[in-house]
């Protein structure tokens, strides 16, 4: 199976590494103007939670192969939402085709996505990390969020299932993948705005550490998430369909915050994914998207709005 990874970002490279280790032919589409164009190999430091919930540390090397074909079985796209159209336009201009797996934080509606392609499936990664000094530092969980077969507009859905199974990754299919992505972005916005308002937003790792170690800040994050989830609801989303995702945030904060603090202290995988995510522009884009939609729909979210404005006031 031929898989093309768009770019050399953390998420795409992490799953590209896993697909390659599983025996698939993996290549990367890297624009000629990219400063990463000369990278042919990366060291890999991974905390792997696929077979052990506590995570297993491993070290390896990943050979980065550049795109050499015009047609692929799947094209894995994991870029910030605002860059999806530009990326797909570049692929079209070079006549590179294949079933798109859009593993992105997409804040736009379904009509927008349909305008980009007629052959795609939505997904969302459960992994994170950074790339520094020629090393991919990452962690990966044992599952991946994927749009259900009935709603995916592709014929080779079964091949995608087999690809993830070969990587020992289970697939989870929410009620509606796009709505789930919106909700996940809203949850992230609620957390990031609190962490950034109390800490040095330019030091994402330190801000995340401070948040996870503070019951008071976690309680504030819970309240913020309650507000940002209402912004998602204002788009016509029935939040009752996502009870599992929101259950922890509905509990009284004197219960939920200590539970979250203990979880972050014990769950190394979850803690690491929080601290390794260092793409500040991506995090701020998510916050701005949720903020703008909340204001547009006149949703009352004073805590979230105040924290976001405080964060932006630091620049």
The 3-state secondary structure of 214-254, one letter per residue: CHHHHHHHHHHHHHHHHHHHCCCCCHHHHHHHHHHHHCCHH
Answer whether residue 279 shows pLDDT above 80.
no
Check the CA dihedral 107-83-97-127 and report its sign: negative
d(CA 201, CA 219): 19
d(CA 207, CA 228): 20
Answer whether residue 284 shows pLDDT above 80.
yes
pLDDT at 204: 83
User: What are the beta bridge partners of residue 120?
Assistant: 100
pLDDT at 314: 83
Instruction: Find all residues with CB under 8 Å of 12, minimum gap 6, and list them.
Output: 5, 6, 28, 76, 77, 78, 103
Residues 280, 202 contacting (CB under 8 angstroms): yes
Answer whether residue 81 shows pLDDT above 70.
no
What does the pLDDT average to over 88-96? 94
Phi and psi (nearest 5°) for 124? -150, 125
d(CA 184, CA 146): 14
Bridging pattern class, strands 135-140 and 127-132: antiparallel
Answer whether residue 139 shows pLDDT above 90.
yes
Q: What is the pTM of this model?
A: 0.94
pLDDT at 80: 76
- Quick: pLDDT tens for 198-241: 988 788 889 999 999 999 999 999 999 999 999 999 999 999 99
pLDDT at 240: 96
Lowest mean pLDDT among 80-84, 162-166, 263-267, 303-307: 80-84
Average pLDDT, the chain: 94
pLDDT at 278: 63
- Quick: pLDDT tens for 177-205: 999 999 999 999 999 999 999 988 788 88
Instruction: Find all residues with CB under 8 Å of 287, minimum gap 6, and list them.
Output: 189, 192, 193, 196, 308, 311
Terminus-to-terminus CA distance in the chain, angstroms? 46
DSSP string spanning 253-266? HHHHHHHHHHHHHH
Q: In the chain, what percentage of residues exceed pLDDT 90?
A: 84
- Quick: pLDDT tens for 28-71: 999 887 888 889 999 999 999 999 988 999 999 999 999 999 99
- Quick: pLDDT tens for 150-171: 999 799 999 999 999 999 999 9
Domains of the chain listed by start with CATH number: 2-173 (3.40.50.720), 178-312 (no CATH)
């Amino acid at each position: 199976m031929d898989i093309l990874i768009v770019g050399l970002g953390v998420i795409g490279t992490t799953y590209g590494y896993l697909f390659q280790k599983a025996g698939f032919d993996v290549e990367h589409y890297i624009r000629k103007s990219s400063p990463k164009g000369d990278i042919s190999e990366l060291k890999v430091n991974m905390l792997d939670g696929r077979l052990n919930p506590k995570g297993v540390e491993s070290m390896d090397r990943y050979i980065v192969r550049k795109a050499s074909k015009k047609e692929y079985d799947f094209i894995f796209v994991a870029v910030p939402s605002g860059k999806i159209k530009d990326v797909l336009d570049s692929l079209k201009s070079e006549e590179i085709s294949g079933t798109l797996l859009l593993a992105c934080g997409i804040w736009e509606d379904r009509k927008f996505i349909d305008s980009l392609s007629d052959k795609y499936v939505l997904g969302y990664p459960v992994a994170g990390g950074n790339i520094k000094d020629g090393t991919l530092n990452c962690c990966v969980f044992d599952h991946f969020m994927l749009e259900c077969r009935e709603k995916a507009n592709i014929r080779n859905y079964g091949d995608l299932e087999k690809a993830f199974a070969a990587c020992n990754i289970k697939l989870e299919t929410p009620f509606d993948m796009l709505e789930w992505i919106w909700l996940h972005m809203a949850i992230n916005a609620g957390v990031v705005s609190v962490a950034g308002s109390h800490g040095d937003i330019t030091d994402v790792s330190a801000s995340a550490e401070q948040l996870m170690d503070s019951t008071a800040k976690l309680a504030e994050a819970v309240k913020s998430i309650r507000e940002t989830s209402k912004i998602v609801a204002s788009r016509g989303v029935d939040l009752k369909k996502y009870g599992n995702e929101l259950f922890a945030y509905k509990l009284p904060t004197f219960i939920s915050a200590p539970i979250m603090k203990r979880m972050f202290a014990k769950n190394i995988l979850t803690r690491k994914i929080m601290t390794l995510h260092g793409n500040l522009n991506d995090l701020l884009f998510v916050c701005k998207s949720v903020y703008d939609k909340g204001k547009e729909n006149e949703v009352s979210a004073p805590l979230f709005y105040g924290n976001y404005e405080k964060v932006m006031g630091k620049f």
